[in-house]
Copies of this chain bind each other. A is one copy, B any other.
Amino acid sequence: MPELRRDPLSHRWVIIATERAMRPSDFKVENPKPHGGVCPFCPGNEHLTPPEIRAVRQNGAGPNKPGWSIRVIPNKFPALRIEGELGRQGYGMYDKMNGIGAHEVIIETPDHSLEMPHYPLAAMEQVIRSYKDRLDDLRKDSRFKYTLIFKNHGINAGASLEHPHSQLIAVPVTPKRVAEELFYCRDYYAYKERCLLCDIISQETLLGERVVLQDENMIAFVPYASRFPFEVHVLPKRHTHDFCKISDREISSLAYVLRTVLKKIRQALGDPAYNYILQTSPVPLPRPGHPEMWGTIEFDYHWHIEIIPRLTRVAGFEWGTGFYINPVTPENSAKYLRDESVDD
């Protein structure tokens, strides 16, 4: 059973992955781990993965057989375990918890070498719908406080398999970074009676200098204080705290805008490694006896996707302070991506 441990200095939870544990000698710099030649995510190799959770098939074949266009499976080497009770415990002066959670892989396409910037729009939409379906399903499990959907592309972004996929991790505590964003959004709402991210959209639209792309429903811009060169955030223009409330038209827009931004990044920067993460409000549980708490969350968050190309290295200064040094002005990053013309 993996363990969740809390660092007393930062109150940051860490997953100590005892089951996928590596031996110290695995880290010797001289011995990079070889990758096997067979891709477990390719059609025909379904038996190499745990049984699927969800898939879309047009050909009427049964589960765990080829014929799918998208396939969701449990991670074979999960960071957290789905079975078990939460169990908070002390360990001397420290705090720990059982490593309960979900860790799934969304295999986005049967085609091993097709990358997201080249997906047909219908395939992009299918990926987004899968995110929504899995989030909808996992929030029924009351042990989980937050589910993060993310994609790692390229070795420098932490991807260990080449076949295009996204991942999902559901955790039993609200993660520090999410709690922080919620706090500052709520704080802003208390002061202004407006959503912080709605105001940011309005500010960015007004200035235009950091906007990369927009359509009727979605906007993509480089944040004013972005940590990394070419960091891009994609937001719905309509205020929605909860990604699961995305409409069909918004799904089409998001498919188009996200794919186009990734295409621009790929073309402008030569296929860099990148991560993207979907930030949405935590499960909005009604608090019994506190209807006003239930109400506020609708106004004090606004879901968004953060795309982080991995071009610079995080070094001592960033680890020590949480400060970042961005060597490209966000305005230059935005202009460069805006001006990069790509096929539709």
Contacts and interface: CB of A to CB of B under 8 A. Distances in A.
Given A94-B225, A151-B316, A321-B146, A329 B18 contact: yes
Given A24-B268, A175-B321, A225-B13, A277 B199 contact: no
Contacts of A269: 24, 27-29
Given A20-B327, A327-B21, A320 B177 contact: yes
A184 B22 contact: no
A319 B311 contact: no
A34 interface: no
Contacts of A199: 93
In the complex this chain forms, how many copies of it are found? 2
A225 to B, nearest CB: 4
Contacts of A326: 14-17
Contact of A313 (B91, B158, B203, B271): B158
B184 A328 contact: no
Chain A contact residues (Cβ within 8 angstroms of B): what range? 35 or more
Interface of A: 5-18, 20-24, 27-30, 79, 91-94, 146, 148, 150-152, 155-159, 167, 169, 171, 175-178, 180-181, 184-185, 188, 196-197, 199-200, 203, 206-207, 223-227, 229-230, 268-272, 275-279, 306, 308-309, 311, 313-317, 319-330, 332-333, 336
